[in-house]
Chains A and B, each alone.
Chain A
Amino acid sequence: MHFPGRGNRSAPVRAVDGVSFDVAAGETLGLVGESGCGKSTTGRMIVRLLEPTSGTIAYEGRDISRLNRRELRPVRKDLQMVFQDPHSSLNPRQTVARVIADPLLAHGSSESAARARAVELMDLVGLIPEHIDRYPHEFSGGQAQRIGIARALALDPKLVVADEPVSALDVSVQAQIVNLMERLQKELGLAYLFIAHDLSVVKRVCDRVAVMYLGRVVEIGAKERVYAAPAHPYTQALLSAVPLPDPAAERARERITLLGDPPSPASPPPGCAFHPRCARAAAICRVEAPILRGVARGEEREVACHFPGAG
């Protein structure tokens, strides 16, 4: 994915660079990384809110990355999105009935059928159906996110891209939404692409996880393996930076503190983008970008590092 630079002077920014992954039906892939790593851009490309510069996005075997608006229409039904800030992603002038029914109406449903389905969806996501004629501002953050989820589910999607769905919510409400998303997945057989910076939440909801750094996937694999034995030095640092809600464990912990900030995608370092912050960096890392490779035989995990493995 390239974003064209402004004017003639600035070069285009490669926000996402050669990212490849699969999401199977009914599974959850977590996409984690820090700000600017390209995780949201990736999510938006999947639902075709953005068009990739090159590469393919295959949905049920068919490349959708070059479809025009009309051709996309039937596909859009199956690929839906949930956003971070529930209030700003809901139109304040529309009632909940309208917010949820909108996608149905757009896809040719009648007014009465759409309203009936909206009532059903409100019940499904744990909202009181009698509140259907209220406006978004009358709902708390957690309830508004339920509305956003109900809207995403209106057309019976197969894949929901959830971009930081709980990070704007109060801590005591986050668990409700996590549980709701897990229940819905079970009941409806949904697949999720769960984008988040909170590694604890991702660990809870995902089957597999992909770690991104500066537009590339640096490690991808089964959640258990990535969390228990991270192979990329960035994954290791990321996991070690998360504060644990346990003072004794915090004191006992040995942390890897990275130096410096994530680099800007506008001027990525040569070679491995992580090398300026990496304790393991050697000469090769400064010149050659590592490609994703299998970590161990028989394990479905790949890592992009010249020196993968335990620190």
Chain B
Amino acid sequence: MATPEPLLSVRELSVTFPTPRGPVRAVDSLSFDVHRGRTLGIVGESGSGKSVTSMAVLGLHTGAEVTGSITLDGQELVGLPERALNRVRGRRIAMIFQDPLSSLHPYYTVGEQIAEHHRVHFDSRRAQAHRRAVEMLAEVGIPEPARRAGEYPHQFSGGMRQRAMIAMALACEPELLIADEPTTALDVTVQAQILELLARLQQERGLAVVMITHDLGVVARVAHEVLVMYGGRAAEQAPVDDLFATPAHPYTRGLLDSLPRLDDDDDAPLRAIPGSPPSLLDPTPGCAFAPRCPRAASASAEVRLRCSNERPLLGGPSGHPVACHLPAYEGVTS
């Protein structure tokens, strides 16, 4: 299949923060592509580096050392001066966050905030920008948009606020939308509405979407491709069906096995992953998952040593890329 040029291309991205206890590498040599009209799901737990990655794409890490390459439609974003970045941020790449209330300004009406965003990027007139704001609120399914545009964020419910954030994000017709846990703070029935809205807008506009989440159910619902992150690194990358059907990394496998499922009638104890996610303050030289890994634990002493000392590279003899010394592929049981 001839794949078209990706819209966003990230290569060997590393983000290192200076801290009083020494430098912390929150993202380590990460590479991925996002195509127009497609959704990349980035899955990980706290400290996996998934949010740091999205902030790096937007050039929002001041004070951190960002290396590697991030290109949007061929344009390099790493090292771009602030002025040039401002023409990309919010305009070509938009972002929505977990908590819409803390992303909206409490002193301005929702309509004013969307309109201002439009005026900054398009130098549009007040009336025109306001019209655009009302239009966008209507598009994201807010009833009585003209009236609601004159209300303040606290007058909106959680779901409506997230709709307003989406309206703001899409007001400038971006090509890429980064959604960082956009439904985590919402009730499940409202989450379903927002995910449906995002899917519709993506289809209508050919948006590329990066969906960052800890919820494998959300990934299964919306993603085309999935990147699983652990301890700041890519653990596994695969088309969504492959990932769920043949998870090759023991972490992915462990996550899927440990989930209580609605469509499961088995009442045996959950197969929990022992231990906790790693601290980035003292990374291991080997695989970050090795201390919790059942496959490493039952491997030979020689392999165990390799897991704890040698960092596995993303690759693999078959199937999709996986960073593991002991990957399991279809037909291979671990």
A222 on the interface (CB 8 Å rule)?
no
Residues in A neighbouring B195, C-beta threshold 8 A: 243
Residues of B within 8 A of A245 (CB): 216-217, 219-220, 244, 256, 259, 261
- Confirm or deny: B215 has a beta carbon within 8 angstroms of a beta carbon on chain A: yes
Tell me the bound Cα distance from A240 to B188 in angstroms. 9
Provide the residues of chain B in CB contact with A240, threshold 8 Å. Answer: 192
B188 and A238 contact, CB distance less than 8 A = yes
- Measured CB to CB, the nearest residue on chain B to A170 is B45
Q: Contact partner of A243 among B158, B217, B269, B270, CB < 8 A?
A: B217
Point out the residues of chain B lying under 8 angstroms from A257, CB to CB. Answer: 189, 192-193, 196
CA A173 to CA B259, docked complex, whole Å? 10
A241 to B262, CA, bound (A): 11
Q: A192 to B273: give the CA distance in the assembly, Å.
A: 24
Asked if A45 is an interface residue, CB under 8 A from chain B, the answer is no
Are B45 and A172 in touch, CB under 8 angstroms? yes
| Residue A176 CB within 8 A of the other chain | yes
Taking the complex as formed, is A64 at the interface, i.e. its CB lies under 8 A from any CB of chain B? no
Asked if A197 lies at the interface with its beta carbon under 8 angstroms from chain B, I say yes
- Report how far A200 CA is from B215 CA in the complex, Å: 12
Q: Could you tell me if B263 and A246 are in contact, using CB atoms closer than 8 angstroms?
A: yes
**At the interface, yes or no: B258 with Cβ under 8 Å from chain A?**
yes
Residue A175, interface by CB 8 Å: yes
Asked if A182 meets B269 with Cβ closer than 8 Å, knowing A35-B187, A242-B217, A243-B218, the reply is: yes
* Nearest CB of chain A from residue B181's CB, rounded to whole Å: 12
* Interface members, chain B 123-164 (any A CB < 8 Å): 157-160
Question: CA–CA, A181 to B259, complex, Å?
Answer: 16
Given A172-B45, A262-B187, decide whether A244 and B261 contact each other with a Cβ distance below 8 A. Answer: yes
User: Are A175 and B259 closer than 8 Å at their CB atoms?
Assistant: yes
Q: Is the CB of A261 within 8 A of B157?
A: yes
Alpha-carbon distance between A276 and B244 when the two chains are bound, in angstroms: 37
Question: CA–CA, A237 to B159, complex, Å?
Answer: 16
- CB atoms of B189 and A237 under 8 A apart: yes
For the complex formed, measure the closest distance between the CB of A4 and the CB atoms of chain B, giving whole angstroms.
22
Q: Is the CB of A171 within 8 A of B259?
A: yes
Please name the residue on chain B nearest to A177 by beta carbon.
B272
Cα–Cα distance between A172 and B215 once the two chains are bound (Å): 11
Q: Does A106 contact B (CB under 8 A)?
A: no
Contact, CB under 8 Å: A142 / B259: no
B260 within 8 A of partner (CB): yes
B88 at the interface (CB under 8 A from A): no
C-alpha spacing A245/B41, complex, angstroms = 13
Q: Is A135 an interface residue (CB 8 A)?
A: no
Q: List A residues 188-202 near B (Cβ within 8 Å).
A: 197, 199-201
A183 vs B268: C-alpha distance when bound (angstroms): 12
Stretch from A107-115, A248-256, A281-289 contacting the other chain: A248-256
Separation in Å of the A142 CB from the closest CB of chain B?
6
B214 to chain A, nearest CB (A): 5
Nearest-CB residue, chain A, relative to B223: A247
Q: Which residues of B contact A241 (CB under 8 A)?
A: 188-189, 191-192
A178 proximal to B (CB < 8 A) = yes
Query: A239 and B159: CB pair below 8 A?
Result: no
A307: Cβ under 8 A from any B Cβ: no
- Docked pose: A247 CA to B274 CA in angstroms: 26
The secondary structure that dominates the B interface is helix
Kindly report which residue of chain A lies nearest to residue B292, judged by CB atoms: A172
Give bound CA distance, A239 to B261, whole Å: 12
Verify A203–B220 contact, CB threshold 8 A: no
Contact, CB under 8 Å: A175 / B45 = no
A170, B277: Cβ atoms closer than 8 Å: yes
**Distance of A153 Cα from B328 Cα, bound (Å):** 41
The chain A residue sitting closest to B47, CB to CB, is A170
Closest Cβ of chain A to B101, distance in Å, is 13
Let me know if A246 and B192 touch, CB within 8 A.
no
CA distance A199 to B256 in the complex (A): 17
B241 located at the interface, meaning its Cβ lies under 8 Å from any Cβ of chain A in the complex: yes
* In the assembled complex, B105 has its CB within 8 A of some CB on chain A: no
| Shortest distance from the beta carbon of A141 to any chain B beta carbon, whole Å | 7
Report the bound CA distance from A197 to B158 in whole Å: 16
Residue pair A239, B276 in contact (C-beta under 8 Å) = no
Q: Once the chains bind, are B276 and A175 in contact (CB under 8 Å)?
A: no
Residues of chain B contacted by A242 (CB below 8 angstroms): 188, 217, 262
Task: Give every chain B residue within 8 A of A244 (Cβ-Cβ).
Answer: 217, 220-221, 261-263
Q: Decide if B220 touches A179 in the complex (CB within 8 Å).
A: no
Residues of B within 8 A of A246 (CB): 220, 244, 263
Partner of B241, one of A175, A239, A243, A248: A248
Knowing A142-B276, A175-B259, A238-B188, the reply to whether A261 touches B220 (Cβ < 8 A) is: no
Q: Are A173 and B193 in contact (CB under 8 A)?
A: no
* A200–B258 CB distance below 8 A: no
Q: Nearest Cβ in chain B — how far from A255, in angstroms? A: 6
Report B's interface with A, CB cutoff 8 A. Answer: 45-46, 157-160, 187-193, 195-196, 214-221, 223, 240-241, 244, 251, 254-256, 258-263, 267, 269-274, 276-277, 292
- 8 pairs, CB–CB < 8 Å, chain A vs chain B: A173-B276, A175-B270, A183-B269, A197-B187, A197-B188, A244-B217, A244-B221, A245-B256
13 more contacts with CB within 8 A, not counting A34-B189, A171-B45, are A141-B276, A173-B273, A175-B260, A175-B271, A175-B272, A178-B260, A179-B269, A203-B262, A244-B221, A244-B261, A245-B216, A247-B241, A249-B263
Q: Which 10 A-B pairs have the closest CB atoms?
A: A243-B217, A175-B272, A34-B187, A204-B260, A175-B258, A175-B270, A140-B276, A245-B216, A241-B192, A170-B45
